[in-house]
Every structure is written in C-alpha cells, then in structure tokens.
C-alpha cells in the first residue's frame, strides 16, 4: 500500500507495490519511508512487554495529547495460554464505548505512530484496540500466517467486549492481511462481533495462495521484506534484521530467489518461514487448505459486512469482494436488511485515496474518504445511528473509461448481455489476429506460439496498475487478437469468460488470457492485475490428481474468474493477449508434468490455439446495453 494515511494502514508495510528499482517482482508488501507525521497521543502507558528484547527497536513514543487515553502493550490472553499484546485508545471521558479492533502482523507501533486515523475513531466515540498478531513484534507465540487468526481473532474480539470500557458492540477493520484476519475470525462466529469492513482480501485459498492452480510468487518477497526481519530479530538468526537491510539484500538476491528450482529447495527461508514450505507441500485442491476456505461458511457470519476492493487490486481482492458479498446475500436471503454491501473502485491494492492506477488517471471522483466510509458503516451497525447506510444500493462500482461511479442492485448486473468475440486469424503465422462476432470459412484453423519455461514471458513493469503492454505484440511467445475500432462506446461490466481450445506437445502448461483496452494511439492498457486470467491445464477440473494433456489432442480450457468494469470508448479496440507465462507474478509451469515445487527440468513446446467452427475459441464479455 502506498497511499495517504487511512484508518487501515501501518506505516512501514505498504501492500502490493514492487520494490523500485531494480526488483523484478510484485511485492505483497512494500517498505515505505519513515515519516515525521506522528499522531499526538496521551501517554497513559501500561507496559507489559518491557522484558521482551525485540521491543528495543520500537520507536520513541509520540507526545501526549489530552484528548484521549492510550494504554500500551495490554496483555490479551488466548485460549491456549499464549499472550498477545495490544494498545488501547479510549476517549478521555469515562464511559463504555463501541469498540473497533485492528489486528496486524506489521507492527502496531508503526500504525500508531504514522496515522491519525485511530485518533479520528476515538474522537467519534469509539474505543480502539490495535494488536500485534501472534508471533509478531510485541505478541508472544509462533507466527504461522493466517492459520491461527480465526481463533485468535475470536478471543481478541470477545476479550475486548468484556472490558469495562466497552459496551459490548465490536467492529473490525483493515486491508489485506488485516482484512483477512477479520474473515477468519468472523467464520468462528464471535457473539459480540457486530460489524466489519474487510478490505481488499480473499474468499478462498485457491485464489489467494494459488490462482488458477498456479502458486503465487509474491509470497516469496512478502516474507523476505516484511516477515523475515522481525523473526530473525526474535530468534537471533543470521540475515537482514531491519526493513532497510531486507530491501537492500532483495535488490541483490531477488532474481536468484525468484528463479530458484525446485521451489521447495530454496534455502533462504528454511529457518525464518517453515510455513512457506508447508504451503508448497499442499496443491490448491488439497483439503488441507479448507481451514482458510470462506465460501462454505457464510452462514456462520452474523456481522454487518462492507466488502471493498479495486479493479487493479491483487487478483484475490475483487474476487473476494464479489464472492463474499454474494455468499452473504445467499445465506441471508429473506432478511429485510441483509447487512452487506460491496464497493469496487479503479484502485490498486491500498490506492483508494488516489485518482491514478498505474498510467491511467480516473479523475478526481475516483479517490474516496475511506476513513469516513468505515466509520459511517460502524456508526450505523455498532451505534445504531440512522445515517442511511442500510438503505443504499448494495453494489457501488466505478466504471473505468467513462470514469463514473454507479450504484447497482446486484452483482453481476442483471441487464448485462453476454456477447462473444471469437478469436480469428488469416494464416498460421499471424502473431496478431482479430476478434470477430462470428467465424467464417475463410478463418484459418489455428495459431501457435512458443512457450519456454526457461525463458518465460515476463512483465516489463514493476508495479500493479494499468500499464501499456503494446510492446508484447508480435513476439513469438505471445498471441494478440484485436477487434476492429469500435463505432460506439461498449461497456463491459461483470464476470468474463474465456473459452479456449488448444493442443500442445507437452504434458502441462499455463494459459494466460489477458483483456486489454487499446486506444487509437496504440496504448494497450490491462484491465486487471495478473492472477484472475491464468489457468493451469492440469488443474482445469480442480481435482487433487492432475489431469495432464494428451499429446497433440485438443483440450478445452475455461477461464471463468476474470471481472472488470470498463467502457471501451468509440475508436478503441478490444484486445485479447495469450501466452504461456507472465513471470514473475506466479510460479512457472515446467511443462514436463512434474511440479515446479519438486522438480527443476523444463520443457519448451509449441502451443496451438484453435479458432475453427468446430473449435471456436472465444471470449465472452458482459456488455451493458446503452441507456
């Protein structure tokens, strides 16, 4: 994250921004520079963690402010006896307050030092609890990301509700990891959890740790830059122990680490992150992952939930915001107020207070006051204030291209009309084909591209957001299909379906099908972040046993997880870009039938994409009729 202060952020960890320069991979968390802006806080300090040696790196406390009370490092016991520690902010008057809980692996001290958002909540009449999650900074225990957050979140929420300064009504908030912990706690059904705003987070581990059957490569740098330094400090292990040292070493080591095969033999994280190797040991269809599955647990959640993401968020974000929203609606069918909404803007991960995403500027209306959005939700569902939050339409979307907000009743939009664009080419050697509304006898039966895991197609950009990918057109390892220039605006809002017929001289491959908006000057902007637009062929049935390709036989692949809201303006073209990799976002398919987790030998092959009447590869877009 790299936006201005908001109610959900920590100071140093900034989610989903690459290290610039010279890193070649997207970071799940970026290191931000220190700032001199420190919230003024009254130092009612109760120190229960002073004996912990790793707290020696905690910065100086901010100056006092008589407007509220701050208690430091309050012990919060978990059911297994492990003690987590939290800072508690209270309004200066003596009373019982609705309570907001924020749980983070990124150091509560950084959050408290860097932003005034927590003060704003206290000034609004809330008690605020900021907690380091298990095994991080001031809290005891062993850090195993996400796995203990359900129980620990439940215990923290119930602890907060029982304090003499709480009125028993608890809400939670946060983005990315602090968003995920809310869901993991909510499905445990804590009785006092009444409202939550889980922003830019997931719905399933199958589209979080993996995507389309492919392991997410950004976990590697997330651990190296944001998790490993504190663990090395706590356990006195060799290696970088500060964020600055980790960033410097990443510049030198990132290429070796990202390209290392087999993945499970990478030595660099063996001591600091054994959980990483545990993740690699379990493919996405493994029932082991069910502890993180939300999609079958919505009936356990009774809090009011405001979902939130961006079209350029990490792939799991917009999928989570729509899937979780619809799951809650289904479980609450018949309720007058189902107590859930979803909001999706044009943002990158954490960029909701900016009007730009990468190279696209969406105008001043794109940025929002996220703090106020959260507090307004809490005001209604924790404090009972009649502010209209329950009467607003359930879906709020930003339509890119036209750059307007629109309120809707449902997701997907009921009035959307499925419109097929068929892949077509005039010869077997075409690198740039066309998108047609129908296929003719003149259409050539197939196009082909090379896919070489040893030399994968690599993203030339170092940050998420919209970027100009015109340079990939014409390469031997990429196929491009363009529509004719559009005669009128075409709005595409909703889930997108790519149906591809292919054959290949290898046992397995990854298929990337990317949707782009091409302007008259040739600028070709992507419409989503990588991950929703990839499918591993052997995972096409989502089974634990890989379903490998048969040599040269034609296989049908369905990519069903893409989604966006974008108006292709008159004169623009719709582009489909196909390749066998988009490194380093996700791990490489070796194309041998062996996993990159356990093997290192790669096998290059030629992939044929079919676009005949018998095998009509196409992309199906949800087109919104013009008013």
Domain at 417-624, CATH from 2.40.50.100, 3.20.20.140, 1.10.357.10, 2.60.120.260: 2.60.120.260
The pLDDT tens digits for 280-314 are: 999 999 999 999 999 999 999 999 999 999 999 99
Per the DSSP assignment, residues forming a β-bridge with 358 are 466
Question: Cα 268 from chain centroid?
Answer: 25
For 9-21, give the DSSP string. Answer: --SSEEES---TT
Name 552's Cβ contacts closer than 8 Å, sequence gap at least 6: 503, 504, 505
**229, two tokens:** 């330094």
In the prediction, which pLDDT does 12 show? 37
What are the residue ranges spanned by the domains of the chain? 301-410, 417-624
Identify the CA nearest to 210 among candidates 157, 286, 102, 140.
286
What superfamily does domain 301-410 belong to in CATH?
A: Alpha/Beta hydrolase fold, catalytic domain (3.40.50.1820)
Contact in structure between 561 and 236 (CB atoms under 8 Å): no
In the prediction, which pLDDT does 253 show? 96
CB atoms within 10 A of CB 248: 13
In the prediction, which pLDDT does 51 show? 32
In the prediction, which pLDDT does 62 show? 43
Contact in structure between 508 and 603 (CB atoms under 8 Å): no
Identify the CA nearest to 443 among candidates 431, 425, 422.
425
Strand segments (E) across 465-533: 478-482, 490-504, 510-518, 524-526
The pLDDT tens digits for 89-120 are: 999 998 999 999 999 999 999 989 877 789 99
Residues of the chain below pLDDT 50: 1-63
Distance CA 17, CA 25 (A): 9
Question: Could you give the 3-state DSSP secondary structure of residue 360?
Answer: strand
pTM: 0.90
Residue whose entry in the numeric block shows the structure tokens 């130092």: 43
In the prediction, which pLDDT does 68 show? 87
In the prediction, which pLDDT does 292 show? 98
- Running DSSP on this structure, what letter comes out for residue 358? B
Distance CA 81, CA 79 (A): 6
Distance CA 46, CA 139 (A): 15
Distance CA 87, CA 85 (A): 7
Distance CA 182, CA 304 (A): 12
**506, two tokens:** 């290898």
Strand segments (E) across 185-298: 193-199, 210-211, 214-215
SS3 content of the chain, % helix, strand, coil (to 5): 20, 30, 50
Identify the CA nearest to 198 among candidates 54, 64, 303.
303
How many H-runs (helices) and E-runs (strands) does the chain carry? Answer: 10, 28
Question: Could you give the 3-state DSSP secondary structure of residue 623?
Answer: strand
Dihedral class, residue 3 (left if φ above 0, else alpha if ψ from -120 to 50, else beta): beta
């Amino acid at each position: 994250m790299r936006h201005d202060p908001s109610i959900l952020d920590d100071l140093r960890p900034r989610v989903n921004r690459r290290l610039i320069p010279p890193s070649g991979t997207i970071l799940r968390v970026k290191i931000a520079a220190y700032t001199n802006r420190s919230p003024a806080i009254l130092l009612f300090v109760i120190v229960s963690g002073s004996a912990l040696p790793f707290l020696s790196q905690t910065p100086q406390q901010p100056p006092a402010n008589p407007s509220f009370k701050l208690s430091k490092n309050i012990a919060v016991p978990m059911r297994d006896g492990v003690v987590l520690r939290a800072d508690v902010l209270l309004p200066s008057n003596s009373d019982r307050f609705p309570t907001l809980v924020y749980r983070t692996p990124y150091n509560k001290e950084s959050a408290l030092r860097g932003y005034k958002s927590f003060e704003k909540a206290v000034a609004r009449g809330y008690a605020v609890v900021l907690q380091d999650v298990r095994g991080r900074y001031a809290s005891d225990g062993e850090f195993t990301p996400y796995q203990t957050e359900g129980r620990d979140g439940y215990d923290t929420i119930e602890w907060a509700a029982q304090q003499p300064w709480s009125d028993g009504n608890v809400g939670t908030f946060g983005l990315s990891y602090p968003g995920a912990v809310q869901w993991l706690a909510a499905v445990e059904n804590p009785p006092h959890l009444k409202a939550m705003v889980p922003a830019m987070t997931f719905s399933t581990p199958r589209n979080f740790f993996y995507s389309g059957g492919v392991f997410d490569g950004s976990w590697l740098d997330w651990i190296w830059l944001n998790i490993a330094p504190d663990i090395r400090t706590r356990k006195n292990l060799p290696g970088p122990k500060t964020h600055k040292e980790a960033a410097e070493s990443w510049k030198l080591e990132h290429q070796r680490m990202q390209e290392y095969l087999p993945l499970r033999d990478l030595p660099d994280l063996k001591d600091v992150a054994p959980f990483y190797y545990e993740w690699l040991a379990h493919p996405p269809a493994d029932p082991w992952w069910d502890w993180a599955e939300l999609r079958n647990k919505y009936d356990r959640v009774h809090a009011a939930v405001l979902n939130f993401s961006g079209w350029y968020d990490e792939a799991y974000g917009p999928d989570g915001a729509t899937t979780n929203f619809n799951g809650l609606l289904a479980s609450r069918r018949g309720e007058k107020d189902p107590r859930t909404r979803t909001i999706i803007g044009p943002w990158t991960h954490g960029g909701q207070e900016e009007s730009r995403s990468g190279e696209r500027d969406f105008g001043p209306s794109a940025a929002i006051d996220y703090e106020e959005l959260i507090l307004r939700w809490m005001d209604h569902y924790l404090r009972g204030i009649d502010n209209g939050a329950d009467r607003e339409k359930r879906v709020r979307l930003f339509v890119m291209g036209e750059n307007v907000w629109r309120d809707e009743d449902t997701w997907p939009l009921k009035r959307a009309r499925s419109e097929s664009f068929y892949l077509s080419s005039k010869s077997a050697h075409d690198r740039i084909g066309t998108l047609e509304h129908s296929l003719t006898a003149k259409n050539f039966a197939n196009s082909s591209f090379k896919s070489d895991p040893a030399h994968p197609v690599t993203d030339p950009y170092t940050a998420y957001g919209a970027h100009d990918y015109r340079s990939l057109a014409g390469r031997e390892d990429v196929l491009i299909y363009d529509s004719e220039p559009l005669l009128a605006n075409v709005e595409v809002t909703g889930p997108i379906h790519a149906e591809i017929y292919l054959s290949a001289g290898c046992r397995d491959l990854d298929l990337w099908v990317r949707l782009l908006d091409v302007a008259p000057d040739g600028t070709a902007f992507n419409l989503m972040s990588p991950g929703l637009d990839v499918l591993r062929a052997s995972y096409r049935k989502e089974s634990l046993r890989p379903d490998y390709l048969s040599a040269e036989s034609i296989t049908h692949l369905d990519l069903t997880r893409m989604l966006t809201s974008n108006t292709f303006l008159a004169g623009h073209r719709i582009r489909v870009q196909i390749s066998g990799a988009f490194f380093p976002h996700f791990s490489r398919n070796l194309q041998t039938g062996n996993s990159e987790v356990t093997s290192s030998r790669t096998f290059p092959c030629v992939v044929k994409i079919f676009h005949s009447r018998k095998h009509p590869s196409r992309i199906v877009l949800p087109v919104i009729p013009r008013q």
